[in-house]
Chains A and B, each alone.
Chain A
Amino acid sequence: MNKTEEVFNKIADKIIDNKQYLTKLDSAIGDGDHGINMARGFSEVKEEFESAEFDSNSAVVKKVAMTLISNVGGASGPLYGTAFLQASKVMEEDLSLKNAVKIGEAVIEGIKMRGKAEQGDKTMLDAIIPAVNALKEDYEAGVELEEALQDCLEAAEEGKESTIPLVAKKGRASYLGERSKGHQDPGATSSYMIIETIIKEII
């Protein structure tokens, strides 16, 4: 198993462990299936890894993308699937801060293209955009990779929490209007978990 596979295995464990928690968040403002959807997709990812052989990191990420598209369903399936697919297209074999920024931008572009949401709409983008912005600022300021990843993690966490007071404008939660306030967005939470796991595995 190569390093990227290991990282995604850890992500899968994290998501599967938090299946009920993510589902509970989605029950508050959605339809109570986010954890179930994500756990179904990532269980399949783990299974795929058992038989597949990969010759590059980007091939691993592409496999993850296709597996999520084929197994998650809901809104998060095409969104995460598209995000990882875009990431796989720009991913280089050696990790660098520069490439991490590029991957982050590709992820955001993919999610926006598919879901037409913006920052502040109370979606997964509210965790991802600040995280990628933090990486970008640190890259431009010449900060070391490890420190940049720390900043990225903090920004993602703040971003996830920033969804609590927001009124949802996209996805099922938007049906609630004002009543969506006061709840953390499930997709922003799963995005934070993914970012957290990737960063903790690298550092």
Chain B
Amino acid sequence: MKKKLVNNPDDVVEEMLAGVVAAEPDRYKKLKDQNVLVRADAPVDKVALVSGGGSGHEPTHGGYVGPGMLDAAVAGDVFTSPTPDAVYEAIKAVDSGNGVFLVIKNYTGDVMNFEMAEDMAEADGIETAHVVVNDDVAVEDSTYTSGRRGVAGTIFVHKIAGALAAQGASLQEVKEIAEKVVANVRTKGMALYPCRVPAADESTFSLEENEMELGIGIHGEPGTERTEVKSADEIVNNLVTDVIEDLPFSANDEVAVIVNGMGGTPLMELYIANRKVNEILGAKNIDIYKTFVGEYMTSLEMAGLSVTLLKLDDELKELLDAPTAVDLLK
């Protein structure tokens, strides 16, 4: 059994949130009986943004709560969608009468639990809308499957929809901009070493010493292809090529980039990867407008990374650049 810095595995989420609030008491408050972080000044007179999902992806989503981004983040158990009650309490806590917009990552459980919460809120007369983020190109998109997973591209939805909401846009306008981001963002990830959820005895999957997994999901769901470990450049080439071909991104497009560490990847390696991302995009005449390198959506201690590209236009650029109090997206 791997070592972990936990007390009782059942308490990890609550103890983590207590630590978050203790670190930044002016920024956050935690709802009393639910694992929900909300802006300290909530509710704010605007459309409120709520996101959430399983824990274990920190800084997702709590790290994006703050002026210019999310109003609340609902933390489910590790890798498990939060329950409808928790989402509903978050909605109630941030609603200012202008409606609440939910950013949902496309997983069966998340979609069902968030939709049930919306039903509960609507029964209370709170107006809601949502977007389902599905940026992971590693999953075949078809009406016969659950569709693509929502991964690191979600952070751009938080930033851009959050910026528009902060400018006083309506619920419908926020929904439209979020859909525009989803239509233009693509991600692919990979893993070198798996992760283990605190309550389980074994890793969620295993990799031989010389193996890696391409197309990995952020819950340690096995990916699409397992091969022997390649060089950083070859790995990045695989990820970026699939991302580019999917949208597709083409010459003279302007993009924002996230090179995202999965939790157990040294920053050194993320920068090595970003060097190659930069080189590949340059060779294709795709202009990089802004790059984020670091941990944005992790998978516990998984080693590996994902690369996200968002195709920008003037409207998206302005909102990406709009001020936010959230350090990670400054």
B204 & A78 in contact (Cβ 8 Å cutoff): no
A176 & B222 in contact (Cβ 8 Å cutoff): yes
Task: Give the segment of B43-51, B162-170, B213-221 that binds chain A.
Answer: B213-221
B83 & A69 in contact (Cβ 8 Å cutoff): yes
Give the interface centre of B85, B109, B199 by most chain A CB atoms within 10 Å. Answer: B109
- Report chain A residues within 8 Å CB of B231: none
A23 & B200 in contact (Cβ 8 Å cutoff): yes
- Report chain B residues within 8 Å CB of A79: 112
A27 & B202 in contact (Cβ 8 Å cutoff): yes
- Report chain A residues within 8 Å CB of B220: 31-32
B113 & A31 in contact (Cβ 8 Å cutoff): no
B77 & A37 in contact (Cβ 8 Å cutoff): yes
Q: How many residues of A contact B (CB 8 A)?
A: 34
B146 & A171 in contact (Cβ 8 Å cutoff): yes
A175 & B146 in contact (Cβ 8 Å cutoff): yes
User: Which residue of the partner chain, among B77, B116, B219, contacts A36 with CB atoms under 8 Å?
Assistant: B77
- Chain B binding surface, main DSSP class: loop
B224 at the interface (CB under 8 A from A): yes
CA distance A68 to B146 in the complex (A): 23
User: Which residue of the partner chain, among B139, B200, B217, contacts A27 with CB atoms under 8 Å?
Assistant: B200
B82 at the interface (CB under 8 A from A): yes
Interface string of B145-164 (1 = CB under 8 A from A): 11001000000000000000
B224 & A31 in contact (Cβ 8 Å cutoff): no
B292 at the interface (CB under 8 A from A): no
CB distance from A114 to the nearest CB of B (A): 6
CB distance from B232 to the nearest CB of A (A): 25
CA distance A10 to B83 in the complex (A): 24
A172 & B77 in contact (Cβ 8 Å cutoff): no
CB distance from B32 to the nearest CB of A (A): 15
A170 in contact with B85 given A73-B76, A176-B222 (CB within 8 Å):
no
CA distance A171 to B217 in the complex (A): 13
A115 in contact with B77 given A31-B204, A69-B84, A176-B221 (CB within 8 Å):
no
Given contacts A32-B79, A70-B85, A77-B109, 16 further A-B contacts (CB under 8 A): A27-B202, A31-B221, A33-B78, A33-B79, A33-B199, A36-B80, A36-B199, A73-B77, A73-B83, A73-B109, A74-B80, A77-B81, A172-B108, A174-B145, A176-B222, A179-B222
* Residues in A lying within 8 Å of B, measured CB to CB: 20, 23-24, 27, 29-33, 36-37, 40, 69-79, 114-115, 169-172, 174-177, 179
23 contacts between A and B (CB under 8 A): A27-B203, A31-B79, A31-B219, A31-B221, A32-B200, A33-B80, A36-B80, A40-B10, A70-B85, A73-B80, A73-B81, A76-B109, A77-B81, A115-B108, A169-B144, A170-B145, A170-B146, A171-B108, A172-B146, A172-B219, A175-B146, A177-B140, A177-B224
